[in-house]
Structure 1
Amino acid sequence: MSKRIGSGAALLAGALAVTGLALAPSAAAVTPDTATITASCGIFGGGAATLTATQSGTSATLTLTSSITTPLSLGANSINSTLTMANSTGPARVFSGSVNPAMAAGSTITVGPLPGTVASGDSLDFKGGSLKMVIFGITVTCTTSAAQAPGPFVF
């Protein structure tokens, strides 16, 4: 009798383990999670910047931290940003919002995390896209002529 109970318990444990694996949510992960670009913002300057991406299902966020500095102090959530990413697998994806930390004059500019929607298989690159920031009513547009490194964000 104890052999049957032991065998039954082992079968039950195995069945539960398989069921648990089958029902476990699939992890959505963007790769790579960071990339670098060199941005040109016209008369406002330019320089190196880092893009950081996160994903949860079809929701994603992008944060841009640049070497470009602000000449004035900026309050938190005072930059209206629209980050458009070229998508080699479909339409461009747009990440937008007014999310930024407070920045003292001379600080590097950071915007985000900016929310947006992605689809499985999207391959997003800043090259072919742009970052538009509205600061004190002035629009600053940044672009690049080179692909981001190490490569596009794949969702």
Structure 2
Amino acid sequence: MKIGTLVSGVAGTAAVAVSALVMAPPASAAAPTTATVQVDCGDWGTGRATVTAEQRGGAPAVTFSTPVVWAHHSIPADSISTTATLSAAHGRTATLTGKANPAWTLLGQPFDSGVLTGTVTPGEAYRFTSITSTFGSLTIHCTAVSAQTPGPFVF
């Protein structure tokens, strides 16, 4: 085999491998991606909530949903201001915020915060602690009352 053929073959293989990596979808930079936690939402009651985690545009993102809090009347999309607090083992906290709720229109429809983003320390393990959402005079505040299952999020 000629050296020129060998070099072009190796270069071609490397180019194919690099292009496959470039075209591959980015992996979620959070693990686990979904967790559940028991929450106390004051007058709304207590129950199970689901928290999902992912990386969006380089920033950590979470979404909180629970049937404990449900719609009394229609609320338009992107109109509820929400702040979630996550805590780390070393006393650090992270605040993720957003105003990206989906339309909340059906009586009894469970609450969904939409995507909340913020800043965390990469590699640190964070647990959901609480969430506060506001729409006009309506305020929803839920606090975790159990450990997050399957465990903390690592971004």
Give the TM-score, by structure 1 length.
0.81
> What is residue 89 of structure 2 aligned with on the other side?
88
- What's the offset of the Cα at 1:11? 4.5
Q: Deviations over 1:72-94 (max 9, x none)?
A: 22221221111011122562111
Distance 1:32 1:115, change over 3 A: same
Whether the aligned pair in 2 keeps the contact of 1:70 and 1:105 (CA below 8 Å) is yes
Aligned pair partner of 2:123 in 121, 124, 136: 121
Q: CA deviation at 1:34?
A: 0.5
SS at match of 1:112: coil
Q: Which residue does the alignment assign to 1:100? A: 101
Distance 1:150 1:7, change over 3 A: same
Q: Quote the Cα distance in structure 1 between the aligned partners of 2:112 and 2:76.
A: 12
User: CA, structure 1 residues 11+44, in 2 after alignment: closer, same or farther (shift >3 Å)?
Assistant: closer
Displacement of 1:28 in angstroms is 6.0
Amino acid across the alignment from 2:98: G
Q: Which has the larger radius of gyration?
A: 1
Report the alpha carbon displacement of residue 12 of structure 1 after superposing the two structures with TM: 3.6
Task: Name the SS of the counterpart of 1:121 in structure 2.
Answer: coil
Deviations 1:19-59 (A, max 9, x none): x49x97x9561100010111111112222111111114750
Q: Distance in 2 between matches of 1:75 and 1:57?
A: 25
One-letter code of the match for 1:84?
T
Q: Give 1:125's aligned amino acid.
A: R
Q: Which residue identity lines up with residue 105 of structure 1 in the other structure?
A: L
Q: How many residue pairs get matched?
A: 150
Please provide the CA RMSD for this pair.
Answer: 2.7
| Contact 2:28/2:54 (8 A) holds in 1 | no
Aligned ranges 1:14-53 → 2 under 5 Å: 20=18, 29-53=29-53
1:37 maps to a residue whose letter is: V
User: Which letter does structure 1 place at the counterpart of 2:8?
Assistant: A
Any conservation in 1 of the 2:125–2:152 contact (CA below 8 Å)? yes
Instruction: List alignment gaps of at least 5 residues for structure 1.
Output: none
